[in-house]
Structure 1
Amino acid sequence: MRFLRLKEVMHITGLGRTSVYNFMAEGKFPKSVSLGDRAVAWIESDIEEWMEQKVADRDNNL
């Protein structure tokens, strides 16, 4: 298991900071994990699954 910090999540997904947090608030993006007082991260496999689902959604709508 690997944790990804926000900067890496943004790079991998192509989303901006606001989009990541807005999608999380809407329940449309994996939740972050608290690493301490002011540090959060996302589980890499959760992000990969979210991306795979986006591709599957696209392919199913063809």
Structure 2
Amino acid sequence: MRQPDRIIRFNTVRARTGLSRSTIYRKIAEGTFPAQLRISTNGAGWRESDINRWIANPAGWLPRGEIDFDDVL
């Protein structure tokens, strides 16, 4: 049985990735880091599975559902 995907907050993401606040937000803007999910009016977090995928392959990370056509050809 598959585990449910947890939502993790900013401090946990920073601790796991070793990235600074500004680097995380710059990479989100560039599309090279998972975007946050809005979880309440003033709160946001990340899917733990997205962060784990990024940690496993930071240079090759793509948002879910996107295909890198260089890998296909």
TM-score normalised by structure 2 residue count: 0.71
How much identity, in percent, do the aligned residues show? 34
Higher helix proportion, which one?
1
Give runs of aligned pairs for residues 1-62 of structure 1, distance below 5 A: 1-54=5-58
* Greater gyration radius: 2
* Ranges in structure 1 where 5+ consecutive residues have no aligned partner: 57-62
Moved over 2 A (4+): none
Cα RMSD, aligned residues only? 1.5
Counterpart CA distance in 2 for 1:49 and 1:27 is 14
TM-score normalised by structure 1 residue count: 0.83
Counterpart CA distance in 2 for 1:23 and 1:14 is 13
